[in-house]
Amino acid sequence: MTSRTLIKNLAALPDGPVSITGWVDTVRDQKKVQFIILRDESGAVQLVNPAVRELDPEGVSVGAAEAFALTEQISALSHGTFLTVAGELKHDERVKLGGLEVKIGSLDVVSEALETPIAADSSLDKRMDWRFLDLRHPKQHLIFRVQTTFEHALRQYWIDNDFIEIHTPKLMASASESRAELFEVGYFDTTAYLAQSPQFFKQMAQPAGFGKVFEIGPAFRADPSFTSRHATEFTSIDAEISWVDSHEDVMRMHEELLVAAFTAVKAKHGAEIAELFGVELEVPTTPFPRIPLAEAKQIVADHGYVVPRADADMDPEGERRISQYVKETYGHDFVFLTDYASSIRPFYHMRHADDPGLTNSYDLIYNGVEISTGAQREHRIDVLIAQAKEKGLEPEELGFYLDFFRYGVPPHGGFGMGLARVLMLMLDEHSIRETTFLFRGPARLLP
């Protein structure tokens, strides 16, 4: 591989020869001098070339011919063309871009680019059509560097706290939650389903004696929603722990995990996030506020908004209203809404000992949007079967799952959280399409 210097590392080098590669961001082709802004995966730098516009008709030296050819070559460069450039690095505080520039000695066109089909003001749909070009933008680069740091910090917290990482199947013989949101897949002489979540399998790890597990992986929902926060394929962050006394233990783990991840992101990318997104990232304090769902609905009603259905989950407007209240009252961007009605929760959520109409469960709301659902699971086989029947499920279809609970299983609980939603809200973006590498929705399977 050809030796190259990343642009971000130029500042630490002394003046002298360097070799860099990247794509043409802009060309300023002036009469006496030419400037190129060259960008690679780490940053951008200014290149400079004294322009030679014509040759002496009485005699052309080799050097003059080469300088003329270089000037012509630079004039013809198109946006996005990939280059290898050898030249002389010079530190100069007068240069606005990084306080340095590279005087071009030679320039090799690695891959010439056609005129770009998108611009800064292109619609989101058009940018998604040309996602590989859209991702060249520094903001898009930063999103996925933030994602990398965020996920690494999650894993570091889990590893430091003795969790085991698992990789669960994405082909399932039956539904994990609702048949209404399943993708069916032909599977030899039968039908398989794309996993909506790793729920059943991370619970299986509890009677296996794993104790604490996590997974970051794909999940699929056949949900024909076109909102800014829904996708048919998304990355799910999941954790499950044994020996919980209630969902409070799960919430405590969840908030500690997020504090660790936000701390890492702020330390590594806080300044860049402020510059490119205009967001001063805050690390949340613990404990996060906790409000029972019924109380949260009453709070938003007292502030002028009534959730349309009393027997339903908090709707998007209700989530925005309760977040606004929490921000004003507690100065916090996160809030746990707890104690959901059993009628709107899955059969495997444990119910209150003194009120079977409520569950030991929660939703986590961040900046006005739900990012996660968590709960203590029901581990008693007789209760689990009864609750499945109440939901209209046939125990026979849940045979493999119910077997997990027939041979001894500790009390346990966990959560699932959408990665793209967290990033969207963290960076104050308006759609998870911006924070998903390649988005999949009801009308998008390309690129």
| Max CA separation in the chain (angstroms) | 102
- Residue 377 CA to residue 359 CA, distance in Å, equals 9
pLDDT given at position 399: 87
Cα→Cα distances 23→57, 145, 152, 447, Å: 35, 19, 29, 22
DSSP 181: G
CA separation for the pair 148, 167 (Å, rounded): 18
Binding site for L-aspartate, residues? 177, 221, 373, 377
Q: In this structure, what token pair is assigned to residue 113?
A: 């680019």
DSSP 359: B
Task: Determine how many CB atoms are found less than 10 A away from the CB of residue 424.
Answer: 25
Q: If we measure between CA atoms, which residue out of 407, 417, 334 comes closest to residue 375?
A: 417
Architecture of domain 7-111 in this structure: Beta Barrel (2.40)
366 C-beta neighbours (distance < 10 Å), count: 23
Cis before 447? omega within 30 = yes
Residue 47 near residue 85, CB atoms below 8 Å: yes
| CATH architecture designation of domain 127-426 | 2-Layer Sandwich (3.30)
Does residue 414 contact residue 246 with C-beta atoms inside 8 Å?
Answer: no
pTM over the 0.85 mark: yes
Beta strands in 272-314 (DSSP E): 290-292
Residue 1: its pLDDT value, please?
Answer: 44
Asked if 361 and 339 count as a contact pair (C-beta separation under 8 A), the reply is yes
Supply φ then ψ for residue 262, to 5 degrees: -65, -35
As beta bridge partners, residue 32 has none
Q: Tell me the domain boundaries of the chain.
A: 7-111, 127-426
- Residue whose C-alpha is closest to residue 347's, from 277, 405, 273: 405
pLDDT in tens, 260-301: 999 999 999 999 999 999 999 999 999 999 999 999 999 999
Tokens of 94: 């007068």
Annotated binding site for ATP: 370, 418-421
Binding residues: 177, 221, 370, 373, 377, 418-421
Tokens 């929902």 correspond to 221
Q: Concatenated DSSP letters for 331-357?
A: --SEEEEE--BGGGS-TTBPBPSS-TT
Residue 249: DSSP 8-state: H
pLDDT tens digit at each of 447 positions of the chain = 458 999 999 999 999 999 999 999 999 999 999 999 999 999 999 999 999 988 776 666 778 899 999 999 999 999 999 999 999 999 999 999 999 999 999 999 999 999 999 988 999 999 999 999 999 999 999 999 999 999 999 999 999 999 999 999 999 987 666 566 899 999 999 999 999 999 999 999 999 999 999 999 999 999 999 999 999 999 999 999 999 999 999 999 999 999 999 999 999 999 999 999 999 999 999 999 999 999 999 999 999 999 998 788 999 999 999 999 999 999 999 999 999 999 999 999 999 999 999 999 999 999 999 999 999 999 999 999 999 999 998 898 888 899 999 999 999 999 999 999 999 999 999 999 999 999 999 999 999
Q: Amino acid identity of 208? A: A
| Spatial distance between the Cα atoms of 414 and 426, rounded to a whole number of angstroms | 22
CA-wise closest residue to 154 among 253, 298, 51, 33: 253
CA dist list (Å): 259 to 108, 266, 366: 47, 10, 13
